[in-house]
Amino acid sequence: MRFKVRSECKRDNASEPSRWVETSLLPKGIPGTAAVNLSCIWHNLEYMVCMWHPGKNASSDTNYTLFYWFDGLKNRKKCSNYSMYNGTFQCTFNLSFPNVTRTYPAISILIRDDSEEIRPVCATKNPTTLVKPATPRQVTLSKINDEIYVEWSESDTFPENCLFYEVEYHNSDLNISQIIKVEHNYTSIPSVDPNSKYLFKVRAKPKPECYSSKFCSDWSEEKSIGEKTDSMFYFVLIITIPLVVAVCTIILLVYLKRLKILILPPVPDPREILKRMFGEQNEDSQSCAKDDSMNAYDRLIKEEEIHSLILTEAPEYTNSEKEGR
């Protein structure tokens, strides 16, 4: 904390005051150990979440403690719901004021450690700049003729007419989204394509005349209505039909003659039949004559073979005859 003091003449307004004398009161603790990057968000006017990082000279086992107070609160309160993720400290505490109003007192936040080596840090926040509405719930879609009706639940923690909504929708066949601003928790989209599928999501924002916050709620879960033409089905058809036609054409070209014979058998030519018949008879007669001559020749050869060899035997003589000779 810094202090400056100067003196002035009480009754002589013409005289000049003395020069300022400045002094400062340093906090306890080692420099570089205080919490840094403090940020807070007031969710749906119900609870506040504050996050910060440890000081660069703070030890890894430093346990920071958060206290808060505001005008109208008798004693300062201590936050007890702590968590840490990736080196970021976070603490959540309920924050509500007695009466729902559009003006709120400033809130003071103190972060320190029980050890005197950790330097404390104090900050003052304007709650109206930290407001973040809750995500719209229960989004319902209905379609009548060529018009789509959209409706969602409204937060009951905000004063009336302190929120507006943004509705984002787009045709599933197109990549261009449209956003419309709505004052109430319902709207309608006219002149839609009955053969297309539409996707909707909603978020809430504080009105500038009620709050100075730039925060908006998260987008609601995306809901759809209508039927989308399955482009994949048509894509498969476009690929399959030419392929089937090509395969069938190849099969027809390969088996065309067989199919033609099966479907339209050829009519025999009578001349060819007669020519074939008489030709076969002549061949048969010639073959028969040839066979007869061949058989006669064979028989003659056999007879020659049989009769060409004549065996003769000399008569046997007795012993007396031999001696007489």
Distance of alpha carbon 225 from alpha carbon 205, whole angstroms: 25
> How far is the C-alpha of 33 from the C-alpha of 59, rounded, in Å?
8
Structure-block tokens of residue 28: 């306890």
Q: Which of these CATH numbers, 2.60.40.10, 1.10.287.130, 1.10.287.70, 1.20.59.20, describes 23-131?
A: 2.60.40.10
Helix, strand, coil % (nearest 5) of the chain? 25, 30, 45
Nearest to 109 by CA among 66, 161, 155: 66
Residue 59 tokens, joined = 């030890």
> Which of 136, 159, 132, 156 lies closest to 213 in space, CA to CA?
132
Q: Which of 22-36, 180-194, 264-278 has the lowest mean pLDDT?
A: 264-278
Q: How confident is the model at residue 262 (pLDDT cuts 50, 70, 90)?
A: low
DSSP symbols for 104-136: ---EEEEEE-SSTTBPPEEEEE-GGGSEEPPPP
Q: How confident is the model at residue 285 (pLDDT cuts 50, 70, 90)?
A: low
Check residue 247 and report its DSSP letter: H
Rg of the chain's alpha carbons, rounded to an integer? 57
With contact defined as beta carbons under 8 Å apart, do 224 and 197 qualify?
Answer: yes
Closest-CA residue to 26 (of 119, 100, 105, 112): 119
Q: Higher pLDDT residue, 269 or 284?
A: 269
Percent of the chain past pLDDT 90, that is, above it, reads: 41
Tokens of 292: 């007869």
Tokens 């972060």, residue located: 111
Q: What is the pLDDT of residues 105-149, one digit of tens each?
A: 999 999 998 888 889 999 999 999 999 999 999 999 998 888 899
Residues 6+ away with beta carbon under 8 Å from 110:
66, 67, 68, 76, 120, 121, 122
Q: What average pLDDT does the segment 243-263 reach?
A: 73
210 vs 163: CA distance, rounded Å: 8
CATH architecture of structural domain 134-225: Sandwich (2.60)
Predicted local confidence at residue 130, as pLDDT: 95
Query: Average pLDDT, stretch 197-215?
Result: 93
pLDDT at residue 283, rounded to an integer? 52
Instruction: Give domain limits for the chain.
Output: 23-131, 134-225
pLDDT tens sequence across 7-53:
988 877 777 889 999 998 877 888 889 999 999 999 999 999 999 99
134-225 matches 23-131 in CATH topology: yes
* CA 190/CA 177 separation, integer angstroms: 15
